[in-house]
Structure 1
Amino acid sequence: MRHTKTITTILFLLLTISSYGQIGKKKNYFPIWTFHQDSINIHGLSIGLWSFNSEPRHTNTNGIKLELIGIGIGIPLIPRSPIVETDSAFIKLEKEPLSERINGLNLSASGSACHCLTNGLTAGFIGQIHFQVNGISTSLFMNFTQRHNGLMTALFNDAYYMNGLQVGLGNNGFKTKGVQIGGIGNYAREMKGVQIGLYNKSEKFKGIQIGLWNVNQKRKLPLINWNFKQDNE
Structure 2
Amino acid sequence: MNKNLILLNVLISMVLHGQDHDSVKIKPAVFSVNPKKAVTRNTSGINVGVLDDYKKQKINGLNLQANPLSLIYPLIPKAIPAPTEKTSTVTVNGLHISTGGMVDGEKLNGVGISIYHHARVTNGISLNFYNNTSGNLRGIHISGFANNSEKGYGLHMAFIGNYSDDFKGLQVSGFNESKKMRGVQIGLINKTENLKGFQLGFWNVNEKRKLPLINWNFKTKTKKS
TM-score of the two chains, using structure 2 as the length reference: 0.79
The structure richer in strand per residue is 2
* Alignment of 1:64 onto 2:62: yes
Equivalences for residues 85-100 of structure 1 within 5 A: 93-94=84-85, 96=86, 98-100=88-90
How many residues in Structure 1 have an aligned counterpart in Structure 2? Answer: 196
Q: Aligned residue for 1:178?
A: 169
- In structure 1, the gaps of 5 or more residues are 1-24, 85-89
Name the amino acid aligned to 1:104: G
Query: In structure 1, the residue corresponding to 2:73 is in which secondary structure?
Result: helix
The structure richer in helix per residue is 1
Q: Within 2, Cα distance between the matches of 1:65 and 1:83?
A: 23
Q: Aligned residue for 1:193?
A: 183
Q: Within 2, Cα distance between the matches of 1:196 and 1:120?
A: 26
Query: In structure 2, the residue corresponding to 1:136 is in which secondary structure?
Result: strand
Deviation at 1:113, TM superposition (A): 1.6
Name the amino acid aligned to 1:147: N
Kindly indicate whether the alpha-carbon contact (under 8 Å) linking 2:91 and 2:105 is maintained by their aligned counterparts in 1: no
- In structure 2, the gaps of 5 or more residues are 1-24
Q: Within 2, Cα distance between the matches of 1:189 and 1:77?
A: 29
Query: In structure 2, the residue corresponding to 1:71 is in which secondary structure?
Result: helix
Q: Aligned residue for 1:146?
A: 135
Q: Aligned residue for 2:93?
A: 103
Name the amino acid aligned to 2:119: H
Q: Which runs of 4+ in 1 moved over 6 A?
A: none
Kindly indicate whether the alpha-carbon contact (under 8 Å) linking 1:171 and 1:187 is maintained by their aligned counterparts in 2: yes
Name the amino acid aligned to 2:98: S
Q: Within 1, Cα distance between the matches of 2:192 and 2:73?
A: 26
Q: Within 1, Cα distance between the matches of 2:112 and 2:68?
A: 13
Q: Aligned residue for 1:45?
A: 46
Q: Within 2, Cα distance between the matches of 1:117 and 1:35?
A: 18
Q: Within 1, Cα distance between the matches of 2:69 and 2:101?
A: 6
Report the identity percentage: 34
Deviations 1:145-183 (A, max 9, x none): 12111011112221111111110121111211111001x
